[in-house]
Amino acid sequence: MADLNTRISDFVWKNINEKHVTGKKDPFWESLVNAGTELWLDTGDMEEAEANWSAEMSALTTNNTLLNNEIQKGIYDIFISEAKSIVRDLPQEERVKEIAFILNARHGLRLASKFGGLVSVELHTDTAHDIKAIQYYGRRLHEICPEQFIVKVPYTAEGLIGARLLKDSGVRINFTLEFSARENVLVTKIARPDYLNVFLGRIGAYLINNKLGDGSGAGEKAVIASQNWVTGLSADNPWQTKLIAASLRNHGQLESLAGTDVFTMPPKVAAAGHKELSGNFTSHTHENYEVNLYDAANGAAIEKFWEVSNNVLNLADRLAAKIPSSGAELIHIAHEEGCEDMFPFLTKEEKGFIASDGKIPVHSRWEKKISEGKIAPDTLLTLAGLASFTADQKMLDDRIRNIIE
């Protein structure tokens, strides 16, 4: 297998000849950096990235959805055909997964070569509940481009353990698919990643779509709470974890969340902010944003997005003191510590609801379990996010399968 991995690495690196983009200095973005925020573009599209890249930007981030968007353009179809011979001795489904790995690494390398910054590359969703697979593919991505790749690991019980093992072995980690301060307390204490996230846009969308509130302030409040917890916990640690305000939805958030460790900005948001805002940024990391909730939100546990209970702190301390050997063990401990709603047991039907509802779960399906403390809105959004990535990964895999069969 080592020989195959070497051949794959050589193949991925072959003929990388991107024309390097040198970003120009821009006082607008310099002001935001001076407020304390690293600037990353949230896209896999080369042209979009180039149109918005400036000297103040330090990274790009991709995910299963963004990579699939590029693959479906057909720009890698010939490359996929060429990759077939490299993995010809593997079983069919392993060939598909390896070529998906190759595409992820190849596109990441092209971004790294063209822009010169860090690039977040995400694991195949099939690895999300497999500690050994998280380690195996995470290390391989790191070895292909150790200076620029950051490996994205999703929020699952196994992901927490796998990310910690990768981090301890020297792999830079971007822990992803978090939606609350309490999730990020666990991630900071257990996984110890370089970066972690709050996907703030979906929090507001959850309130709006389910008629629980007008959406204003909710994502921002979750980001600020997470930022303060992560900063406080990192101050006591020999490692530093930084918070990403992920996938900003509107350019106003560039101002309202200035000072957050990192922004991942879709190019449209970056362009709109540059056009509409003054560029006089100051840190807002101690703002207390108001959240406008409707009566229907009573009992909906919306506070779980920004509040951190003693049960969660106790769970974080217990897991950090001794990392579990399996996801099942971690989940058992979470239930013992009164945090069942963070790692719920779902029926086959409930898993189907998560997959079919898309990125924003239908709250009415879950009201009873939420009221019983068996699941929570942040957990629902995390599960829905992984299901959405899984669907996009399947589209990518299907394209590979159709080309190589």
Is the pLDDT reported for residue 195 higher than 90? yes
Q: CA–CA separation, 243 vs 241, rounded Å? A: 7
- pLDDT value at residue 314: 98
Is the pLDDT reported for residue 231 higher than 90? yes
- Residue 344 has a CB neighbour count (10 Å cut-off) of 19
Instruction: List, for residues 261-297, the tens digit of each pLDDT value.
Output: 999 999 999 999 999 999 999 999 999 999 999 999 9
This prediction's pTM: 0.97
Fold held by 2-13+26-292+390-404: TIM Barrel (3.20.20)
Is the pLDDT reported for residue 2 higher than 80? no
Q: CA–CA separation, 342 vs 382, rounded Å? A: 10
Is the pLDDT reported for residue 245 higher than 90? yes
Give the pLDDT band (50/70/90) at residue 247.
Answer: confident
Pick left, alpha or beta for residue 74 (phi over 0 → left; psi -120 to 50 → alpha; otherwise beta).
left
- What percentage of the chain reaches a pLDDT higher than 90? 98
- pLDDT value at residue 239: 83
Is the pLDDT reported for residue 250 higher than 90? yes
- pLDDT value at residue 236: 81
Instruction: List, for residues 351-370, the tens digit of each pLDDT value.
Output: 999 999 999 999 999 999 99
Both tokens assigned to 265: 């900005």
Is the pLDDT reported for residue 1 higher than 80? no
Return mean pLDDT, the chain.
97
Both tokens assigned to 370: 């939420």
Q: Average pLDDT for residues 204-231, to the nearest whole number?
A: 98
- pLDDT value at residue 299: 97
- pLDDT value at residue 141: 98
Q: Average pLDDT for residues 201-229, to the nearest whole number?
A: 98
Q: Average pLDDT for residues 363-380, to the nearest whole number?
A: 98
Instruction: List, for residues 46-80, the tens digit of each pLDDT value.
Output: 999 999 999 999 999 999 999 999 999 999 999 99
Q: CA–CA separation, 371 vs 402, rounded Å? A: 45
Q: What is the SS3 assignment for the chain?
A: CHHHHHHHHHHHHCCCCCCCCCCCCCHHHHHHHHCCCEEEECCCCHHHHHHHCCCCEEEEECCHHHHHHHHCCCCCHHHHHHHCCCCCCCCHHHHHHHHHHHHHHHHHHHHHHHHCCEEEEECCHHHCCCHHHHHHHHHHHHHHCCCCEEEEEECCHHHHHHHHHHHHCCCCEEEECCCCHHHHHHHHHHCCCCEEEEEHHHHHHHHHHCCCECCCCHHHHHHHHHHHHHHHHHHCCCCCCEEEEECCCCCCHHHHCCCCCEEEECHHHHHHHHHHCCCCCCCCCCCCCCCCECHHHCCCCHHHHCCCCHHHHHHHHHHHHCCCCCHHHHHHHHHHCCCHHHCCCCCHHHHHHHHHHCCCCCHHHCHHHHHCCCCCHHHHHHHHHHHHHHHHHHHHHHHHHHHHC
Please name the residues in contact with 252: beta carbons below 8 A apart, sequence gap of 6 or more.
277
- pLDDT value at residue 88: 94
Instruction: List, for residues 297-341, the tens digit of each pLDDT value.
Output: 999 999 999 999 999 999 999 999 999 999 999 999 999 999 999
**Where are the domains positioned within the chain?**
2-13+26-292+390-404
- What percentage of the chain reaches a pLDDT higher than 70? 100
